[in-house]
Amino acid sequence: MAHEHKLEIFRGTLKFKSNITKIWGVFVILSIVTIVEVILGIAKPEVLTENRFLAMKLLNWIFIVLTIFKAYYITWDFMHMRDETKGMRRSVVWTAVFLICFLVLIVLLEGDYIYEVYKSNHVKFNF
C-alpha cells in the first residue's frame, strides 16, 4: 500500500530514514522539551522571573512558546497533519488559532480590568 510520509522535520534539516524512526525522533524532541520545562519550572532562574515582556514574565513566555512547539509536533507528526493536503491543514489549524486568540485576548484583558477595579476600589477586599 502506498502510504507515503514526509520524513523531514525542522524545515528539511533533519530527515529520517523511515516513518518509525521519525516517530521515535519526535518522541525524543518532545521529551527534551518537557525536561527543559520541568527544570526551568523548578529552578526558576531570577533573570527570567524578574524581566518582563508585554507584562508577562520571560519564564512564562518560554513555557508558552515551548508548549506551542510541542503542540506543533504532536499535530504534525503524530496526527499526520504534515501529510494532509494544504486545504485540510489550514481549515483545521487556522480556524482554531484565530478563534482561540480572539477568546484569550478578550477574556484576559477583561480579567485584568476587573483586577484593577478591585484594587483601586473604595471597598477593601482584604479582610
Q: What is the DSSP letter of 123?
A: S
Closest CA to 9 of 88, 81, 86, 85: 81
Site track for other proteins across 28-67, x = CB under 8 A: --xx--xx-xx--xx------xx---------x--xx-xx
Which helix H or strand E contains 53, and what residues bound it?
strand 52-53
CA distance 64 to 43: 17
Residues that bind other proteins (CB under 8 A): 1, 3-5, 19-20, 23-24, 27, 30-31, 34-35, 37-38, 41-42, 49-50, 60, 63-64, 66-67, 70-71, 74-75, 77-80, 83-85, 87-88, 91-92, 95-96, 99-100, 103-104, 107-108, 110-112, 114-115, 118-119, 125-127
